[in-house]
Amino acid sequence: MATKSPLSIVKERFQDKGSLLKAFRELATDDLWIDRLDSDKGLERVSNKKLLRLHTILTDVKSKFGSRGKLIDAIVEQEKRGKDEGRKIGLGRFSTPRLWDLYKVGAKRSKAAG
């Protein structure tokens, strides 16, 4: 079975790229997203594949944690460094997708160890 192209997924789930951008912007609040976009290019030039990935990540983070801060707290707890404020500040500089990847890796490690 062949995998679907990003364009076909966008058309299936959102009808067009404009609707995907609107859904992404609704999720990309200050609680979930650090805006580091190039203001000259904007989101319109971001590929469908990347937008789909970002939308999925923000949806997962919002449903599981509610905000980036709670995701950072969960990562610190996974690492058993709950009192390490420096680590929290360092993680706060990371993008939400990078934090989500760190959380998933930590969850796999704890599952394998336990």
Of 24, 25, 26, 32, nearest in space to 72 by CA: 32
The pLDDT value recorded for residue 1 is 59
Cα–Cα distance measured from residue 94 to residue 57, given in angstroms and rounded to the nearest whole number: 14
Res. 17: pLDDT tops 90: yes
- 44, two tokens: 């319109």
Is 32 part of a structural domain of the chain? yes
Q: Which domain holds residue 79?
A: 7-113
Average pLDDT over all residues of the chain: 91
Mean pLDDT computed over 27-47: 82
Confidence (pLDDT) at 66: 94
Instruction: Give 100-109 contacts, CB < 8 A, sequence gap 24+.
Output: 100/57, 100/60, 100/61, 100/71, 102/75, 103/71, 103/74, 103/75, 103/78, 106/75, 106/78, 106/79, 107/78, 109/78
Amino acid 111: pLDDT: 84
**What's this model's pTM, rounded to 2 decimal places?**
0.87
pLDDT (tens digit, 9 = 90+) per residue, 62-99? 999 999 999 999 999 999 998 889 999 999 999 999 99
Side-chain half-sphere CA neighbours of 63 within 13 A: 6
The amino acid at 86:
G
Provide the domain count of the chain. Answer: 1
Position 36 pLDDT exceeds 70: yes
Query: Does a structural domain hold residue 1?
Result: no
Nearest-angstrom CA–CA distance, 5 and 105: 27
**Is 2 inside a domain boundary?**
no
